[in-house]
Homo-oligomer: A and B are copies of this chain.
Amino acid sequence: MTSTVPRRDTTGSADLGALFAPRGIAVVGASRSPGKLGATLARSLAGFAARGGHLALVNGRDATMHPSVRAAAEAGPVDLAMICVPAPACPEVLAEAAAAGAGAAVVCGGGFAEAGGPGVGYQEKLAAVVAETGIRLLGPNTSGFLAPHAGVTASFVPGVAQVRPGRVAVVAASGGVNHALAFLLTEAGHGVSLAVGLGNGVDVSAPDVLDHLAATLDTDPDTGAVALHVESVADGPRLVAAVRRLAARRPVVALVVGRHDVGAFAASHTGALATSWRTTRAALAQAGAVLVGDERELVDAVGALSVTRARPARAAGVGVVTAQAGPGLLLLDDLRGRGARVPELAAATQEALGGLLPPLTFQRNPVDTGRPGPELGRVFRAVAEDPEVDVVAGYALHEPDAVDLVAAAGEGRVDDVPVVLGLGGTGDEVVRARRALLDAGIAVAGDPRGVAAGVGALLTDARVRARRADPVVPRQVPTGVAGAYDEHAAKGLLDRLGIPTAPRRACASRAEAHAALTALTALGGPVAVKILDAAVLHKTEIGGVHLGIADAAGLDEALDRLDAIGARRYLVERMAPAGVDLVLGARRDPVFGPIVLLGLGGTTAEALADVAIRLAPLGPGEAAEMPAELAGHALLDGWRGGPVLDPDALGRVASALGDLLVANPGLAEIEVNPLRLTAGGLVALDAVVIPREASDAQPDQ
């Protein structure tokens, strides 16, 4: 639960310097009893003091320590106060720290909003002190942060001293996950530039830290890639903007929790989830982040991207080199599952490989080297030089007698063609070899799945960067949409957006309906006859739709039935040919604002929640990528001789629908259902426009 106290605009980031690069740190509530938070924290910060930082222990009841932050500040600079006192006392200590000139503070303990009861009040008081004084506050309810380059391991978890300085930044919703990730990164051979757990996030939030990282790039420490862990999102547009800014300069890899029902526990820990897991992932992906499914893949992905990146490419090709066929097959299977392209190598490449490898191995891609020897470096190079190869993925067991893998990988390097190498083995020698590969700019993993995850991240990153070059063309859209729309009027909106509809006529009388029948059947084929009434949202359910009307008798029968359910106006429309039905809609997400959703028609797709989501506005190029994300996308690709979707045509329609929603604050939702894919292209067969309640109708942003 986040506080309701008004927040300062903290889009600027330089003011987190006091927090993450302090000259001096006061530990308030320091203790000499081992096991106490204050004692552990003081011990964790010993490295900071050893590097010449001013570390001041504050405890009014311990004569060997400073009696107050003010006293500590008199002994040396205190930019950061680590507050280790019980929750009720924290607001006062925070105010004292601000008064003593500290620019930032961390409250590690719990017992605030996450605990409910009086804790909510303590948290509100903290927020009030922040608002009054301008001090930056990390927490409460976080295990702190690590800035190993500065020796600041501001955490009560003792093992953090083993987290090395490095190039990966961690921005985690939870202090526990921040630490878990820092340890996993360490195990994988990586170091950390900054690792932050936000806890209750009463002041310093994910966007703040992302902006701080963006502002400190190319300085010391530089950040090569960012791991972002998201539990709930307070301000969707702000998070998206911060990710977009940072992702334009460094890869951001995001893990979003809450795919499944984690209900009450999540609410107790992070506050209510106002938006969906899918929407949050879609928003972050659109902002340029690489999305992953679990914490291991997060480590594989951010680790690889912190070391190397591929050139921008919509569908980069992967060359696979394996010293053992079996692990190579696991790797290939996994890469295929990620949609990676593993193209057959060019004839010239295969010829070169033929000169290097025994004829008994597979050399088309994957390249199976058999037991590797000194030629391995040249094999890597031949594959990397193939015109279809943008990324090299490799796997080998550690066999130093047969080949020096580190040397071979170095020898095989080609500019702009990154390598992700799996090195199977155990023991110190293997750990050293993996570190040497990382130091040489080669991403490394311990198993085929880790290689595939790293390669998958490089491919997504390459695609995101290729997409970024897409021009967005402004579009004229109808404005002033508000109030009730019947189907004819809704389709009129679609017509103005350039979204194809079938020829139709709105009819106020039976005579007009008969005239429409004559005119429309003259175009060929029968018509559909429907009730036309803005108040009726579910026409089919009440018998308001009659299909396949070919003659006057049929029309009269249909009109009789429509009259019987109270129809005053009719829509007569030429029937569209058979095809595959889609559902395309635009609506407002409570956290992220306007979004566009695409799914397949039918209950099966609905039951599977098979839907692609984007924030609006979005360009047609990006919208064109939506169909490929559907699990059932094979249905759109000429399934059983059916029609083939032109993704660009779909992209134009989806982009236009999003633009319409953005341009019309009075519009809550518009849904085209079905949007039919026919041999002749897309046709909107029905459309529903839902106006926003007057009280909600405010412009977005």
Contacts and interface: CB of A to CB of B under 8 A. Distances in A.
Contacts of A332: 262, 265
A361 interface: yes
Given A158-B399, A180-B397, A361 B115 contact: yes
B366 A329 contact: no
A583 to B, nearest CB: 12
A448 B255 CA distance: 13
Contacts of A266: 329
A640 interface: yes
B447 A402 contact: no
A534 interface: no
A384 to B, nearest CB: 19
Contacts of A402: 35, 40
Contacts of A295: 330, 447-449
Given A35-B401, A424-B183, A427-B162, A269 B362 contact: yes
Interface stretch (A20-28, A543-551, A598-606): A598-606
Interface in A610-665: 631-632, 634-635, 639-640
A43 to B, nearest CB: 9
B115 A176 contact: no
A110 B426 contact: no
Contacts of A429: 159
A370 B180 CA distance: 16
- Residue from the set A35, A180, A186, A257 with the largest chain B CB neighbour count within 10 Å: A180
B362 A265 contact: yes
Complex copy number for this chain = 2
A324 interface: yes
Contacts of A197: 326
Contact of A329 (B231, B359, B449): B231
Contact of A269 (B173, B325, B447, B632): B325
A329 B262 contact: yes
A670 to B, nearest CB: 23
A355 interface: no
A567 interface: no
A43 B482 CA distance: 82
Interface residues of A, number: 103
Nearest to A338: B260
Contacts of A333: 257-260, 262
Contacts of A296: 296, 447, 449
Given A110-B370, A371-B37, A631-B608, A639 B603 contact: yes
A247 interface: no
Interface string A418-431: 00000011110110
A180 B115 CA distance: 46
Nearest to A322: B176
B366 A326 contact: no
Given A397-B157, A602-B602, A183 B330 contact: no
Contacts of A334: 294
A360 interface: yes
Interface in A258-280: 258-262, 264-266, 268-270
Contacts of A406: none
A400 interface: yes
A270 B332 CA distance: 14
A166 to B, nearest CB: 13
A399 B108 CA distance: 15
Interface in A320-376: 323-330, 332-334, 336-337, 358-362, 364, 366, 368, 370-371
B426 A261 contact: no
B176 A324 contact: yes
A324 B175 CA distance: 8
Nearest to A87: B360
A425 B159 contact: yes
A556 interface: no
Interface in A153-193: 156-159, 162-163, 172-180, 183-184, 186-187
B329 A607 contact: no
Interface in A34-51: 34-35, 37, 39-40
Contacts of A163: 426
- Residue from the set A261, A402, A429 with the largest chain B CB neighbour count within 10 Å: A402
Interface string A580-609: 100000000000000000001011110110
Contacts of A358: 111
A456 interface: no
A311 interface: no
A224 interface: no
A492 interface: no
A556 to B, nearest CB: 19
Contacts of A604: 600, 602, 604-605, 608, 632, 635
A184 B447 contact: yes
A510 interface: no
A70 interface: no
Contacts of A323: 176
Interface string A216-234: 0000000000000101000
B362 A268 contact: yes
25 contacts: A110-B370, A111-B358, A111-B360, A116-B360, A117-B359, A159-B429, A159-B430, A163-B426, A174-B326, A175-B324, A176-B325, A176-B326, A178-B326, A184-B446, A197-B326, A260-B333, A265-B368, A269-B362, A270-B329, A295-B330, A295-B449, A603-B640, A607-B635, A608-B608, A608-B631
Instruction: List the 6 closest A-B pairs by CB distance, nearest first.
Output: A174-B326, A176-B324, A115-B360, A260-B336, A177-B326, A176-B326
